Chain A
């Protein structure tokens, strides 16, 4: 096991005044090892973006700690915080609105260098041109164009170049491909994989698209209504989800294959309001396996297989058979027949 670059412990973010308090993120803990990609997946309102922002302290965490390379960012302030934060860069969903339309590509990428006075003159120009080339934008032909002259995919490439300018260790990608067409989405995903290898980056990849998250991640964490449901290696988590919510979520994912079996297990209803989340397990109001215990007792993340942890009192059994195949069965006792 390699060392952890990022450790998040009991991260909690609440918004709003007393009485109208929205619990956006509630007691989320996870680690991201050096060089790994952790995918953070969930539906809208589950707190995945807020988690990403709280790590950067773009929104202030209400409680909990965020440790980057051994330094507690939640305790840091002022210059220390700003300096440490350069090791962590964020890329956002809407590539067009994250760039100033009236600035040139070169200046956008150079801005972090200018802020921190990392490079000037010829050196600055060389770094910027290298970065643009790296992300597939020809600096000679396009470097002096304005941001408004680029397409969404190109803007996202420029955003990535800007994020890399500070040579960050951790890149937080918040829905970076969801606004792009599939053909462009594939280009950006491949680019991120290449840059990750080249720069030795660690990625926290936040997205709602299950196929995209699986494609890029080593490990995947699933969130529901502000809490972590399940975290584990991408391939085993997708093959054998242990949390009922993960299973429903995967069951709803559409596969671009007409021969794929039609799944009939559909999650009914909608997530409850985070203003008044259910007691105990927050998924219990929609969970077919919920019992009284789920209402009274909040399930803690418990290991069900090596590196695979789940927050459920009645996890679906994960049977790891020898070889790559992994089978899944219903929960002990009262499970329904499986849908595949």
Chain B
């Protein structure tokens, strides 16, 4: 790989204490992310994708959660880092765009002031420099009449505009890694296309790495270079986005691809639905978590947990005892 590694995630496990026992939301997840690279993390609800992104950020409640493993961001360990040390990272090294632009902004503070805050606290800019830079950032994220909107309150902006403001705040500290957790869920399709284009554009312009966390395979298909597929807290397949789509080996990946309706298919195309539903994380099966829903499961799958193994030399890994043959795995 030509680019240096920016983020090294090794055996990260996040466990929550719940009244009914420990719940492992992220289970031994490992991956690398190179500088300037875009990675997609896909999975259904409860697959651990959001908890994973929060663990990478170092955003956990103080009590009731334990994280083991290692998250090395540009050489700095995030797991177990002090609040003080994490504040050094947030904004300048890593920033996050959350799903809901309605609630991630402070409703009683003007949007410009919310960008200023990052610039002044994190970068130590003075008031007027921060204001000028904030307006510049608002322009960069495509907000018309940026100087006027600087003084607008979040409620007067549409969902798409608010998400642009959230992105401007994330970009304010020129982070090297941008984590976007479902950044377009809840937005209309035409607005979603605008926001995804914006993220693409700023990534290229600022030379950031991005992690795009989503349940929507359409969002990651053309926007990321590599992909991590998660199920019940574990990585079940990873590789280049092209490989995962066209040469996937894990039955869950295929099931996920085939169960989503496609605009290019004629109407009334029967969907290959996955029977059952995602497992209860408090009561995971002993073997492969997907085995109860899997058409290819054998006795072994129910007792033994498969580990990630290489499919080829390109870094394509999958965790399955009965992988799909390559030919059959190509899209029909």
* A contact residues vs B (CB 8 Å cutoff): 43-44, 151, 153, 181-187, 189-190, 193, 208-212, 214-218, 234-235, 238, 248-260, 262, 266-268, 270
Contact A216 B268 (CB under 8 A): yes
User: If the complex has contacts A182-B44, A253-B189, A254-B221, are A189 and B245 also in contact, measured as CB distance less than 8 A?
Assistant: no
User: If the complex has contacts A182-B215, A182-B260, A215-B261, are A266 and B190 also in contact, measured as CB distance less than 8 A?
Assistant: yes
Alpha-carbon separation in the docked complex, A190 to B293 (Å): 17
- B273 → A minimal CB distance (Å): 4
Chain B, 313-332, CB within 8 A of any chain A CB: 331
Enumerate chain A residues within 8 angstroms of B215, measured Cβ to Cβ: 181-182
Contact B190 A183 (CB under 8 A): no
Chain B, 29-54, CB within 8 A of any chain A CB: 44-45
Enumerate chain B residues within 8 angstroms of A43, measured Cβ to Cβ: 188-191
Contact B222 A211 (CB under 8 A): no
Contact B218 A256 (CB under 8 A): yes
Contact B218 A183 (CB under 8 A): no
User: Is residue B77 contacting chain A, with contact meaning CB distance below 8 A?
Assistant: no
Contact B259 A257 (CB under 8 A): no
Enumerate chain A residues within 8 angstroms of B191, measured Cβ to Cβ: 43, 270
Contact B189 A256 (CB under 8 A): no
Contact B219 A254 (CB under 8 A): yes
Cβ proximity bits B177-188 to A, threshold 8 Å, 1 near / 0 not: 000000000001
Taking A43-B191, A44-B188, A186-B271 as given, write out 12 further A-B residue pairs in contact, using a Cβ cutoff of 8 Å, ordered by the A residue number: A183-B274, A186-B273, A186-B274, A187-B274, A208-B188, A208-B189, A211-B218, A235-B266, A251-B193, A254-B196, A254-B218, A270-B158
- A28 → B minimal CB distance (Å): 20
Contact A252 B263 (CB under 8 A): no
Q: Could you give 30 example pairs across A and B, Cβ below 8 Å?
A: A153-B277, A181-B277, A183-B255, A183-B259, A183-B278, A185-B260, A186-B261, A186-B271, A186-B273, A189-B273, A209-B261, A211-B218, A215-B268, A215-B271, A235-B266, A248-B190, A249-B189, A252-B193, A253-B189, A253-B218, A253-B263, A255-B262, A256-B216, A257-B264, A258-B221, A258-B245, A259-B246, A266-B190, A266-B197, A270-B158
Chain B, 231-248, CB within 8 A of any chain A CB: 241-242, 245-246
Chain B CB within 10 Å, residue with most, of A184, A258, A266: A258
User: Is residue B267 contacting chain A, with contact meaning CB distance below 8 A?
Assistant: yes
**Size band of the B side of the interface?**
35 or more
Contact A184 B277 (CB under 8 A): yes
User: Is residue B256 contacting chain A, with contact meaning CB distance below 8 A?
Assistant: yes
- A228 → B minimal CB distance (Å): 18
Contact B271 A256 (CB under 8 A): no
User: If the complex has contacts A193-B268, A249-B189, are A262 and B260 also in contact, measured as CB distance less than 8 A?
Assistant: no
Enumerate chain A residues within 8 angstroms of B261, measured Cβ to Cβ: 186, 189, 209, 211-212, 214-215
Residue from B158, B267, B271 within 8 A of A190 (CB atoms):
B271
Contact B264 A182 (CB under 8 A): no
Contact A266 B219 (CB under 8 A): no
Enumerate chain B residues within 8 angstroms of A185, measured Cβ to Cβ: 259-260
User: Is residue B308 contacting chain A, with contact meaning CB distance below 8 A?
Assistant: no
User: Is residue B58 contacting chain A, with contact meaning CB distance below 8 A?
Assistant: no
Residue from A208, A214, A216, A258 within 8 A of B222 (CB atoms):
A258
User: If the complex has contacts A189-B271, A211-B260, A254-B192, are A260 and B277 also in contact, measured as CB distance less than 8 A?
Assistant: no
B272 and chain A: residue at smallest CB distance = A186
Residue from A186, A250, A258, A268 within 8 A of B241 (CB atoms):
A258
- B182 → A minimal CB distance (Å): 13
Chain B, 190-230, CB within 8 A of any chain A CB: 190-194, 196-197, 215-219, 221-222
Alpha-carbon separation in the docked complex, A251 to B189 (Å): 9
Enumerate chain A residues within 8 angstroms of B196, measured Cβ to Cβ: 254
